[in-house]
Structure 1
Amino acid sequence: MTKGKVYGYVRVSTAQQHQDRQYIAIKKYGVPEENIFADRQSGKDFERPGYKKVVETLQENDTLVIKSIDRLGRNFDDLLDQWRHITVEKQAGIIVLDMPMLNCGLDDQLMARAIGQIMLIVLSYLAENERITTRQRQAEGIAAAKLRGVKFGRRAKEIPVEFENVKAMWREGRCSATAAARMLGVDFHTFKKWICEGR
């Protein structure tokens, strides 16, 4: 079997995070720097320019190297689809540096590749389940906080002391609602909201 090219993919979720650790590990594996693609984007889906480019670049017998499975993606179903797309449809290999048991390199025996795919399914399920559990805990925490009287969202804008005088001017027709709002330093909708609330 002719050995293809080796590519790398790195991803961080925010601009504040650094990709250095992933770059170092992937280059140490032997991936040329010009073959490493990167994204600064969430892993919730695969609509990422760097990822799409590296997958488009992969040819049969090439290998994609990633530092850890969550750098590829976090959504269980999409992750499995992408894994199949790369290893089955494109006939390329995948190396996960932090999880050698997942490695689906082209020199592996059929059984080793099958075990790698099974392990991916198990680990992806656990990752997705943790994401769902975390979201549920957050929702439960918010509900409990609301029961304790904790208020969420932006704090209501405080009404200026001159509101009553300006409101009286507006009611007497001495100024428009827009002019009244301007005098109070708020927008038209806020002024009307205060009026409707009977303030």
Structure 2
Amino acid sequence: MSKTILYVRVSTSEQTSDHQLEQALKAGFQVDEVVTDHGTSGVTTKLEEREGGKRLFDMLREDDTLVVRWVDRLGRNYQDVTDTIREFIKRGVTIKTVINGMVFDGASKDPTQKAVRDALIGFMAAMAEAQAEASKEAQRAGIEHHKAAFPEKFKGRKPAFDRGSFEEVKAMLQAGQGHSAIAKATGVNRNTVIRIAQDPMKAEAALIKWGM
């Protein structure tokens, strides 16, 4: 039986997985299952190397439908996104976007229509990568400005955890342990555990700033 699977990638500053599911449902999609990657870079990590991405490659079969908010959820690397979409199309999977209702599949046998489809895939993947590069450049410029203007404040508050306890907290979160149990086992404050769970990349960045 064919399935409709929503893939959600949640980065530090973007929408939550619940929000992306809500958008898909409001757009009229009947979602059978949601596959999520939290705090994973779409630039440096290929879809097939992410935990949720691996599940997609294992799950998707002919006649299944893959729904994403936009192609940038699959990734922000041109080659990875185009390779991924074409691989799923070869499998007989239909890919649909919530934004603008784009549809990519292998239904058409007309070479001209296939060329238009492939060109559109390439264009959208290129836009995703270009937007990522622009965001990185703006972020770098902002960091340099703050370094120059507020050198003594740039590091921010020292983390209330070290590298070892951070890795312990992450491992226990991935194992599905509750916040209170993790706090008790690691000695890390429960509120800090919650902040790490909500934004692990921010916690990682804080450790790096302090050379930890």
Normalising to structure 2: TM-score of the pair? Answer: 0.56
User: Cα distance, 1:38 vs. partner?
Assistant: 1.9
Q: Which residue of the partner structure matches residue 29 of structure 2? A: 29
Q: Which residue of the partner structure matches residue 105 of structure 2? A: 105
Residue deviations 1:82-126, cap 9 Å, x none?
Answer: 1122112x232211121334x113545644443233122112212
Q: How does 1:96-175 map to 2 (within 5 A)?
A: 96-101=97-102, 103-108=103-108, 110=110, 111-143=112-144, 150=151, 152-153=154-155
Aligned mates of 1:109, 1:22 — CA distance in 2: 32
Q: Which residue of the partner structure matches residue 210 of structure 2? A: none
* Counterpart among 69, 94, 108 of residue 67 in structure 1: 69
**Quick one: structure 1 residues 36 and 4, their matched pair in 2 at CA, closer, same or farther if it must change by over 3 Å?**
same
Contact 1:63–1:105 (Cα < 8 Å) also in 2: no
Aligned mates of 2:37, 2:145 — CA distance in 1: 37
Q: Secondary structure in 2 aligned to 1:29?
A: coil
* Amino-acid identity (%): 28
Q: Secondary structure in 1 aligned to 2:16?
A: coil
* Counterpart among 16, 40, 46 of residue 18 in structure 1: 16
Q: Secondary structure in 1 aligned to 2:104?
A: coil
1:80 aligns with 2:82: yes
**Structure 1 vs Structure 2 CA RMSD:** 3.2
- Of structures 1 and 2, the larger Rg is shown by 1
Aligned mates of 2:99, 2:16 — CA distance in 1: 18
Normalising to structure 1: TM-score of the pair? Answer: 0.59
Q: Which residue of the partner structure matches residue 54 of structure 2? A: 52
* Number of equivalenced pairs: 150
**Quick one: structure 1 residues 116 and 22, their matched pair in 2 at CA, closer, same or farther if it must change by over 3 Å?**
farther
**Quick one: structure 1 residues 63 and 124, their matched pair in 2 at CA, closer, same or farther if it must change by over 3 Å?**
same
Higher relative contact order (CA 8 A, sep 6+): 2
Aligned mates of 1:24, 1:7 — CA distance in 2: 14
Q: Which residue of the partner structure matches residue 194 of structure 1? A: none
User: Cα distance, 1:58 vs. partner?
Assistant: 1.0
* Counterpart among 37, 43, 56 of residue 39 in structure 1: 37
Unpaired runs of 5+ residues, structure 1, are 156-199
User: Cα distance, 1:144 vs. partner?
Assistant: 5.3
Contact 1:7–1:64 (Cα < 8 Å) also in 2: yes
2:30 maps to amino acid: G
Contact 2:75–2:128 (Cα < 8 Å) also in 1: no
Aligned mates of 1:13, 1:100 — CA distance in 2: 22
Q: Secondary structure in 2 aligned to 1:127?
A: helix
